[in-house]
């Protein structure tokens, strides 16, 4: 039972990451491969605030979201100068730079040793120390973010985003400032990823830079592409599938080390096969 | 003792490795017109093939190296035939190819890790007993010298092939306009297949040389590849000499950048340079 709850918590965290990245990649058509950086900034901001000042988790999460949003604004502004595959490459760059900061700004992040002893969230004297209660919290966040995404993508704002994806010159001619739309959705997406980061940090109670590498960003991209571009339900299905997959491999009887690598092989192959046979993913409506 | 001569030598050594990766990458990009990230994993394939034959089976050094180069090239062509050729035939966007190549990279490096474990290995049997040369007060090992010489040789031979042979001119023609090349009777699929073979073989060679210099691990390719891509872009993408120029420039910037700060920041510096170039001179130093 504990094990199933653990898996469910991971799925809800990755569903948040998938939903948030889908706003940028699926709905706006910007191939961003740097979501793990925002995930990490949220996690580190929360962890550092909780451990050093002992403030309330929800306040720390909120401050982490603001910090992430500001950094995303700057990054999004730089990235907005690029197109298509150069955009992807630039976003790689930011992921590597942020990762280096986690790794090397020793006085703040404790470097490769990471930050241990992050407390679980408390609310009005109640501590989410039981995993079952933590699941309620993380699943609640995931559901809330799902509805926010639904609201955004169904609104007139969301329609402009799709128009940018289809033809950003044409929509600019109609008088929309595409730069502001791209920046806004990039920041919203990053802030959502920061929520996932805060949850992750306080759930595992320990973070180190290795959770926020470029490979992690590729994994999040795989969730979005597998589930389906421009489909909020798809992002959730992608997270469910890609989190369950390595667990199934473990049950089949592969040893842990091999299972971890098999998971990488399988999601690499999934990316290739999807590109070859179904570029819009399982339930997506847009193809790259 | 002054540190500057050693810094200069280190910059040149780094530049030599990067230039080799950039040469192969540029060749592929210039012809097939997409960012082939799977290319990075082929460096690991080369390194591990030599590890298997030379350290494992005890086959002669030169035979193992030739095998390693050949196997990398062959796998490169195989991937082209299975994945990239169908996608290009369908006129998929460069983003689809980029995502597919991300899948290739993830899958390939994990397959290597499953076969050989993800442990760090060294290729040379007599590590530490290598011959060392001193140039103007800077130390360079035999492997590093060989890397430098091979890099220059490959650059010259690619340059000569492009200028004087029919094959080289055909590659250039395909890069300029694939449709028209087909009309004038060039077998473009075959030409691009050869380009993938040569490019991947160069990647394999780079992986082997890195293996003799420092060591091999399955994930070595991503780092090498990203440096090669950065070198290509700052030098001028698709331009043979530009890639080499960019590689040495990158080597110097990285090594002098960490003069006063910790060496861990190298990657961050490299990507900061990339983003600055993309913003202010996206066509690179030498325009194609």
Residue B3 lies in a domain: no
Mean pLDDT by 10 residues, chain A (288 residues): 89 95 91 93 94 89 94 93 86 91 88 86 80 90 94 91 87 87 94 94 90 89 88 90 82 76 85 86 74
Whether ipTM exceeds 0.90? no
Query: Pairing mode, if any, of strands B132-135 and A126-127?
Result: unpaired
The model's pLDDT over A50-93, given as tens digits with 9 standing for 90+, comes to 988 888 889 999 999 999 999 999 999 999 888 888 888 899 88
Task: Count the neighbouring beta carbons within 10 Å of the beta carbon of residue A144.
Answer: 13
Residue A128 confidence (pLDDT): 82
CB contact under 8 A, B282 and A86: yes
Are A22 and A224 spatial neighbours (Cβ–Cβ below 8 Å)? yes
Is residue B61, in this structure, part of any structural domain at all? yes
- Alpha-carbon gap, residue A86 to A83, rounded angstroms: 6
- How much is the pLDDT for A120? 86
Q: In whole angstroms, how far apart are CA A168 and each of A64, A163, A177, A225?
A: 32, 7, 10, 22
Strand partners, A123: A126
Confidence at residue A195, expressed as pLDDT on a 0 to 100 scale: 94
Candidates A51, A75, A55, A56; CA nearest to A193 is A75
Residue B17 lies in a domain: no
At residue B288, the pLDDT reads 61
Q: Could you list the pLDDT tens digit for every one of the 288 residues in chain B?
A: 578 888 888 888 889 899 999 998 888 988 888 888 888 899 999 999 999 988 888 888 888 999 999 999 999 999 999 999 999 888 888 888 888 998 999 899 899 998 888 888 887 766 556 677 777 777 888 888 888 899 889 989 988 998 899 888 888 888 888 888 888 888 888 899 999 999 999 999 999 999 888 888 888 888 888 899 899 989 888 788 888 899 999 999 988 887 777 777 888 888 888 888 888 888 878 776
For A210, list phi and psi in degrees, rounded to 5: -65, -15
Distances (CA, A) of A46 to A21, B40, B46: 21, 35, 43
- The residue range of the domain holding B70 is 31-232
Output the average pLDDT for chain A: 89
- By DSSP bridging, strand B138-141 and strand B132-135 are antiparallel
Contact A279 B109 (CB under 8 A): no
Cβ atoms within 10 Å of A276's Cβ, excluding its own: 17
| Shortest distance, CA A258 to any CA of chain B (angstroms) | 6
Q: What is the pTM of this model?
A: 0.88
- Residue whose entry in the numeric block shows the structure tokens 């060679």: B205
Closest partner residue to B110 (CB to CB) among A78, A265, A270 is A265
Q: Which of B29, B106, B111, B114 to mutate to test the interface with A (most CBs of A within 10 A)?
A: B106
Best A78, A221, A271, A274 member to test B by mutation, with max B CBs in 10 Å, is A271
- List the single best residue of A89, A229, A277 to mutate versus B (max B Cβ within 10 A): A89
Contact B264 A214 (CB under 8 A): no
pLDDT at B129: 60
Question: What's the number of domains chain B is made of?
Answer: 1
Q: What pLDDT does A242 receive?
A: 87
| pLDDT tens, residue by residue, A41-57 | 999 999 999 988 888 88
Predicted confidence at residue B1, as pLDDT, reads 54
Query: Cβ separation of A265 and B114 shorter than 8 Å?
Result: yes
Q: What pLDDT does B126 receive?
A: 62
- pLDDT for A106: 85
Nearest to B71 by CA among B46, B54, B35: B46
Quote the minimal CA–CA distance from A135 to chain B in Å: 31
CA distances from A115 to A43, A215, B268 (A): 10, 21, 22
Residues of B with CB under 8 A from a CB of A: 34-35, 83, 86-87, 92-100, 102-111, 113-114, 117-118, 222, 226, 229, 233, 262, 264-265, 267-268, 271-272, 274-275, 278-279, 282
Residue from B268, B269, B273, B276 to probe the interface with A (highest A Cβ count within 10 Å)? B268
DSSP A113-125: G-B--PPPPEETT
| Domain ranges for chain A | 2-211
For residues B64 and B60, give the distance between their C-alpha atoms in angstroms, rounded to a whole number: 6
Beta strands in A34-80 (DSSP E): none
Tell if the CB–CB gap between A78 and B229 is shorter than 8 Å.
no
Nearest-CA distance A212 → chain B (Å):
15
Nearest-CA distance A189 → chain B (Å): 20
- From A262, A270, A279, residue closest to B96, measured CB to CB: A279
Specify the pLDDT at position B125.
64
Angle between helices B266-280 and A84-104 (to 10 degrees): 150
Contact call for A271 and B268, based on CB within 8 A? no
- At B130 the pLDDT is 67
């Amino acid at each position: 039972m504990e094990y199933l709850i653990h898996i469910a918590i991971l799925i809800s965290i990755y569903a948040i990451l998938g939903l948030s990245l889908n706003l940028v990649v699926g709905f706006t058509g910007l191939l961003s491969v740097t979501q793990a950086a925002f995930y990490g900034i949220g996690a580190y901001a929360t962890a550092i605030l909780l451990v050093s000042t002992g403030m309330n988790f929800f306040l720390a999460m909120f401050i982490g979201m603001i910090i992430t949003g500001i950094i995303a604004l700057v990054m999004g502004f730089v990235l907005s100068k690029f197109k298509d595959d150069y955009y992807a490459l630039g976003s790689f760059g930011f992921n590597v730079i942020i990762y280096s900061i986690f790794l090397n700004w020793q006085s703040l992040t404790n470097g490769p040793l990471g930050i241990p002893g992050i407390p679980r969230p408390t609310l009005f004297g109640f501590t989410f120390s039981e995993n079952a209660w933590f699941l309620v919290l993380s699943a609640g966040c995931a559901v809330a973010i799902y509805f926010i995404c639904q609201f955004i993508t169904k609104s007139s704002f969301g329609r402009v985003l799709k128009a940018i994806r289809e033809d950003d010159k044409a929509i600019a001619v109609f008088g929309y400032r595409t730069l502001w739309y791209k920046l806004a959705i990039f920041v919203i997406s990053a802030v959502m990823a920061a929520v996932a980061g805060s949850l992750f940090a306080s759930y595992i109670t320990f973070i180190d830079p290795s959770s926020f590498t470029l490979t992690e960003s590729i994994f999040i991209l795989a969730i979005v592409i597998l589930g389906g571009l421009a489909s909020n339900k798809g992002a959730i299905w992608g997270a469910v599938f890609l989190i369950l997959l390595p667990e199934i491999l473990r049950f089949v009887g592969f040893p842990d080390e091999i299972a971890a690598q098999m998971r990488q092989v399988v999601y690499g192959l999934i990316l290739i096969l999807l590109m070859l046979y179904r570029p819009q993913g399982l339930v997506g409506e847009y193809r790259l | 003792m002054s540190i500057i001569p050693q810094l200069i030598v280190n910059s040149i050594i780094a530049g030599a490795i990067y230039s080799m990766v950039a040469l192969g990458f540029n060749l592929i990009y210039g012809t097939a017109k997409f960012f082939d990230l799977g290319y990075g994993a082929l460096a690991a394939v080369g390194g591990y093939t030599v590890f298997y034959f030379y350290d494992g089976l005890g086959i002669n050094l030169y035979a193992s190296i030739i095998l390693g180069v050949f196997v990398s090239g062959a796998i490169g062509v195989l991937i082209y035939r299975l994945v990239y050729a169908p996608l290009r035939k369908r006129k998929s966007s460069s983003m689809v190819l980029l995502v597919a190549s991300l899948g290739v990279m993830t899958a390939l490096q994990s397959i290597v890790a499953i076969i050989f474990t993800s442990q760090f290995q060294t290729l040379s049997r007599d590590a530490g007993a290598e011959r060392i040369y001193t140039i103007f007060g800077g130390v360079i090992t035999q492997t590093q010298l060989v890397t430098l010489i091979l890099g220059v040789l490959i650059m010259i031979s690619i340059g000569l092939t492009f200028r004087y042979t029919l094959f080289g001119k055909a590659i250039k023609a395909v890069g300029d306009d694939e449709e028209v090349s087909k009309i004038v009777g060039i077998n473009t699929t075959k030409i691009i297949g050869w380009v993938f073979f040569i490019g991947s073989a160069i990647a394999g060679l780079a992986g082997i040389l890195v293996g003799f210099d420092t060591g091999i691990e399955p994930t070595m390719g991503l780092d090498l590849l990203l440096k090669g891509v950065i070198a290509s872009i700052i030098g001028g993408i698709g331009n043979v000499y530009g890639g080499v120029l960019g590689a040495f420039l990158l080597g110097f910037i990285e090594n002098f950048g960490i003069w006063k700060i910790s060496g861990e920041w190298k990657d961050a510096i490299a990507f900061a340079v990339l983003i600055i170039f993309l913003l202010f001179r996206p066509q690179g130093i030498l325009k194609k």
